[in-house]
Amino acid sequence: MSRIGKNPVEVPEGVEVAVAGRLVTAKGKLGELSATLTDDVDLIRDGNLIMVKPRGNSMRARKMWGTARSVVNNLVVGVSDGFKRNLEVNGVGYRAQVQGSNLIMQLGFSHEVKHAIPEGVKITCSDQNHITVEGADKQKVGQTAAEIRAYRPPEPYKGKGVKYDDEHIQRKEGKKK
């Protein structure tokens, strides 16, 4: 049995969830999201709870059970609370700022790095060394944060680069004289 799949998804106040065949649509204060689920699972609506059940006892149906439940839960949480990812910029002369619809970063290259802010994602910089990526779609928020981090991943000797705020960099000792 799937330990994730057997838990129901609770729909909070102010969120509308519509199920039409395999298409699940959630509407809330942060927007509207939809996802198409596989044929291997069924959705059952019971008041403010949504249950996901496998359509058979096949291996694929049992695998998709927990996955489908997580997708539906991410839709509901996304339109009600949203998702957030925080990044830190570490290094001498390294900084970030938002200008219009671009994130401008100085990361030790000869030129500044411009990252276009995608639709449905909000990027803010509380100061020059902290970047916050927010949005309703968990996949877009995570992908955008990963793309920003990929411009200059943290290095283990001085810790310079862009890292997640909850990421721990295993530091290495430099060479000896």
- Rounded-to-integer distance, Cα 20 and Cα 43, Å: 10
Burial 112-143 (b: 16+ CB within 10 A, else e): ebebeebeebebebeeeeebebbbbbbebbee
Q: Are residues 41 and 111 in the same domain?
A: no
Average pLDDT of the residues in 105-130? 95
Of the candidates 3, 89, 15, 95, the residue with the CA atom closest to the CA atom of residue 48: 15
1: in domain: no
Residue 138 one-letter amino acid: K
Model pLDDT, residue 22: 87
Model pLDDT, residue 175: 87
Domain boundary among 48, 65, 80: 80
Model pLDDT, residue 1: 58
Q: Which residues constitute the domain of residue 24?
A: 9-80
Whether pLDDT at 2 is above 80:
no
Number of folded domains in the chain? 2
Average pLDDT of the residues in 130-154? 96
Q: Are residues 107 and 48 in the same domain?
A: no
pLDDT tens per residue across span 11-56:
999 999 999 888 999 999 999 999 999 999 999 888 899 999 999 8
Model pLDDT, residue 176: 85
4: in domain: no
CATH of the domain at 133: 3.90.930.12
Distances (CA, A) of 22 to 27, 52, 72, 97: 17, 12, 11, 41
18: in domain: yes
Q: Are residues 60 and 90 in the same domain?
A: no
2: in domain: no
pLDDT tens per residue across span 56-71:
889 999 889 999 999 9
Q: Are residues 70 and 107 in the same domain?
A: no
